[in-house]
Amino acid sequence: MQDLIHKASILHEALPYIRRFHGRTFVIKYGGHAMTEPSLRDSFARDVTLMKLVGLQPIVVHGGGPQIDEMLGSLGVVSERIDGLRVTDERTMDVVEMVLGGRVNQEIVTLINNHGGRAVGLSGKDDAFLRGERVTEMRTKSGKVVDPGRVGRIVEVKTRILEHLVAGGFIPVVAPVAVDAEGRSLNVNADTVAGAIAAATKAEKLVLMTDIAGVKDESGNVASSMSADHVRSLIDTGVISGGMIPKVQCALDAIAVGVKKCHVIDGRMQHAALLELFTDRGIGTEITAG
């Protein structure tokens, strides 16, 4: 009986958050171990379905780095990364588009649908809703300037297709492939795409699922809350570096244009998104404007 009472108290704790966020858009970047470990994949699909059924409007943007690495390895292709971004030649772009827009996207859609959700998969090429431009150069740690190939940045998000899907009761699942002015594919960091979509849709929150507990401060401790200015100072001093830079930068960009809060959470924990959004304590780091 005490166990049942405890479960009821958890629902009571979630109630004010469900009421506050009813009808609001949440953009969730899904990646890391949460995409590869079966129990975490199942947990995520259930969580997103629950969000939709209680009145939230989730939009999922997924990564797929390990799956791309696996496919490239089987083809004997070596792929280099600079600050968390994959250098993408034409051959690599074909693999990226095949893995992200095909296999990975449809696996996520199927999993959500199997748990009672109504997920629809798409990439930025659908209705050309993610417009991008090519990044012409990047600098390695040694200072060498290189051409990253088909790596892109987002210049415009056309939200109509997302709005129609959300209004129709669907959960959009977005592969981070954009299209340039000539209709060519661009490989864009999934965190960056999630931030751009959050900004364009005026999302209530941007949630970044990672393989770390949160954002660490100068002392090496995970901060439960951090201002945008504090995050910028950590980047400037090198405390935040490497693959974390695109994650926190997309959070900063989203906050700058009106997204209220961004959350960096540990996707290795079951029900991570629900624990962060629907409990008083939360589990990760929230980044705020002030």
Binding residues, by number, are: 64-65, 86, 187
| Burial per residue of 234-259, b for 16 or more beta-carbon CB atoms within 10 angstroms, e otherwise | beeeebbeebbebbbbbbbbbbeeeb
Pairing state between β 261-266 and 81-82: unpaired
As annotated, the binding site for substrate includes 64-65, 86, 187
Expressed in percent and rounded to 5, the helix, strand and coil fractions of the chain are: 45, 25, 30
Burial class (CB in 10 A: 0-12, 13-18, 19+), 219: exposed
SS3 178: strand
DSSP secondary structure of 121-154: EEETTGGG-EEEEE---EE-TTS-EE--BSBEEE
**C-alpha distances out from residue 137 to 123, 180, 186, Å:** 24, 16, 14
Between the CA of residue 57 and those of 30, 49, 155, 166, 283, what are the distances in Å?
15, 10, 24, 7, 21
* Structure-block tokens of residue 1: 């009986």
Alpha-carbon span 177 to 193, nearest angstrom: 9
- Tell me the sheet residues that pair with 285: 264
